[in-house]
């Protein structure tokens, strides 16, 4: 991870969603274990990262920039927890 990104530790390790934030940014990026093919992808909010060289932390990227995004991601958190 670069000096401008820092990982956010999560209890339980292993299969829990991974997250990072960019310093000075009002954005949190979360990687879920959920299958992106089962989710309606929304540009700028969700992204399938299976084929872009992102390995090991989850195939579904979710960008949280507001409280509304956090609410909108609630079902994705639950889905990821179910498949973990």
Tell me the pLDDT of the chain (84 aa) as tens digits.
Answer: 333 344 443 334 444 455 555 566 789 999 998 899 999 999 999 999 999 877 778 899 999 999 999 999 999 999 888 887
Instruction: Look up the pTM and report it.
Output: 0.69
Question: What DSSP assignment string belongs to the chain?
Answer: --TTEEEE--TT-TTSPEEEEETT-S-EEEEESS-GGGS---TTTEEE-TTTT--SS-SEEEEE-SHHHHHHTHHHHHHHHHH-
Provide the residue range defining the domain that includes 12: 5-83
Please count the structural domains in the chain. Answer: 1
């Amino acid at each position: 991870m670069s000096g401008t990104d820092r990982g956010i530790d999560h209890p339980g390790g292993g299969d829990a969603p991974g997250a990072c934030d960019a310093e000075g940014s009002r954005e949190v990026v979360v990687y879920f274990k959920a299958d992106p093919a089962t989710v309606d992808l929304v540009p700028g909010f969700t992204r399938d990262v299976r084929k872009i060289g992102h390995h090991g932390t989850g195939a579904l990227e979710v960008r949280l920039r507001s409280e509304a995004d956090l609410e909108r991601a609630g079902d994705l958190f639950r889905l990821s927890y179910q498949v973990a």
